Structure 1
């Protein structure tokens, strides 16, 4: 059974007594995020990945290594150390082969997690804000289990929290406590702020905190991303490995044939009737074009984009994408 983190919830929010559990799918609960430690398996954010992996690096790390890791077997070349000969492959092929090893590098990881009001939406299973928190928790548990340091930059519409990468279970719990505090501020009456102001502020902090040779994982729906966002992502990418996780809800991609939806920007609202095929086609086309634009945007700056649906189990999706 997971430990009871209700006291940590109250200390993290600074808002008086907090319920020990949250409404499933609407807000996150510290116990639930802690319990994800048991399911954070069969996927990795390792420094060196197979050449076709989304996480294969652009350059070798320059930080202190932890040892040697087997990389491949290749044909013998003049000057190779005979101590690396692979005698089994040599005997089987009749030609000399050597085993190639790569130095394992320590790579701190920085999680940038979006908890703005634009993430407070979900048509099935969970809000995007909850899914973003689950992605961050699973990543943090996996990273620490692999022996690397993890830190985070968590941001909402008006607030931002940053913690430098550390290598301990307590560091993960502290990060998750801050994440719960940010998530608990999201509710139906909360005011949303338009634009990428806080998103860009979080990326600016990441540029200063990451320095170089980090892995920066940006978890967001990328709502409001602008030219400044692109420049900051490029600045991060120039000295670090960067991975984006696009949290999306499939509702607009799979519209029902009937029913109504009230849409509001916090001030004005409009009712959409899905019985009209033309309206469904227009909304579906907009959603598809927006998704494609995000993928093209990331491809243009050389940053992998992993789509994670709010309608499916997050751990299963990460194993499928990164296993």
Structure 2
């Protein structure tokens, strides 16, 4: 399969078929990707039965579980968990950090596809969906909405932004960064948002990780990391690199190949440890494998735990 530097809105709309299914994290109250209905942490007169516990003065007597009370000779009450709509925001990193792909797809194309799946799933379960589009020139914030027309406008704009970024010459320095996008997100997502950050996470700065930790204190945050085969292992040959203005040839030998691999793997391991300490799920997707198959493998592996 030949890699294409352009992506179309049709490519994204076709992903609606795979956006249905069970919750992504079965054990967690809220899922980031492919999430189901969200139960709030509040307990009250809700839709779903949660548990039975000992009666506490002030509990609604209508919720007393008389069978358990009779069996234990201690008054017990039923507790219900309420379903709660939660707005979703996805950061789409379309900066130069994702304008690369060595084989079948560019990283930015996987970014767009993952964001599309988030959006389709949010609309199906009645959540509002919004996005933050980050490229080297701008940060564009689109507020969450339940409108399908609104969602498709996000996809249209994201496709245009991605295709323009892959075809233009890159300036020496980006005008905006992920740190700025996360900082602005902190001013929006005060609590109870589902936040999905889709990027090449190996390039996240310490400041970005600090912002992610702050967001995770009162929101559900998940990172989707896009990996290309060249991130891990460069071929042992002369490789041309170009930014459309200049080109260099990099000669790779065994030693530099192994050193390159270890630096990347160590960096990734360190990142995973930091995110685990923040209780932020870390999903890895590759540019050289079918997205649908990768998601199925992740779901199957998660459900077997």
Bin of the TM-score, shorter chain as denominator length: 0.7 to 0.9
Contact 1:219 1:246 in 2 (8 A): yes
Q: Relative to structure 2, which stretch is displaced further, 23-32 or 103-112? A: 23-32
1:30-64 deviations in Å (ceiling 9; x for gaps): 11111211221225468xx42598769xxx74799
Give runs of aligned pairs for residues 28-177 of structure 1, distance below 5 A: 28-44=7-23, 49-51=26-28, 61=40, 68-69=47-48, 77-79=53-55, 81-82=64-65, 101-177=80-156
With normalisation by structure 2, the TM-score equals 0.78
2:238 maps to which residue?
260
| 1:153, distance to aligned residue in structure 2 (A) | 0.3
CA contact (8 A) 1:40 1:315 kept: no
List per-residue Cα deviations over 1:212-249 (Å, max 9, x = no partner): 11011111103542232123212212221111111111
Q: Which residue of the partner structure matches residue 313 of structure 1?
A: 290
Q: Is the 8 A contact 1:196 1:223 kept in 2?
A: no
Distance 1:140 1:52, change over 3 A: closer
| Rounded Cα–Cα distance in structure 1 between residues aligned with 2:92 and 2:79 | 37
Q: Measure how far apart 1:25 and its partner are.
A: 3.9
Structure 1 residue 267, shift from structure 2 partner: 7.4
Structure 1 vs Structure 2 CA RMSD: 3.6
Tell me: CA distance 1:160–1:40, structure 2 relative to 1, closer, same or farther (3 Å): same
Task: Give deviations 1:82-111, integer Å, cap 9, x for gaps.
Answer: 3797xxxx9xxxxxx998752211111000
TM-score where L is the length of structure 1: 0.74
Aligned twin of 2:185: 206
Contact conserved, 1:204 with 1:232, CA < 8 A, in 2? yes
Contact 1:212 1:240 in 2 (8 A): yes
SS in 2 for 1:239: coil
Instruction: Report the 3-state secondary structure (helix = DSSP H, G, I; strand = E; otherwise coil) of the residue aligned with 1:185.
Output: helix
Aligned residues, how many?
A: 282
Partner of 2:276: 299
Give the unaligned 5+ runs of structure 1: 1-22, 91-96
Taking structure 1 as reference, are residues 175 and 63 closer, same or farther at Cα in structure 2, changes over 3 Å only? farther
CA gap of 1:78–1:289, structure 2 versus 1, over 3 A, is closer
1:246 corresponding residue in structure 2: 225
Asked whether the equivalents of residues 195 and 225 of structure 1 are also in contact (C-alpha less than 8 Å), the reply is no
- Alignment partners' CA distance in 1, 2:66 and 2:171: 63
Q: Measure the CA separation in 1 of the matches of 2:5 and 2:49.
A: 44
Structure 1, residues 66-125: CA drift from partner, whole Å, max 9, x if none?
Answer: 952355xx7x6554733797xxxx9xxxxxx99875221111100011000121111122
CA distance in structure 1 between the partners assigned to 2:197 and 2:67 by the alignment: 39
- Deviation at 1:206? 1.4
Q: Which runs of 5+ in 2 are unaligned?
A: 56-62, 301-305
Counterpart check, 1:272 vs 2:254: no
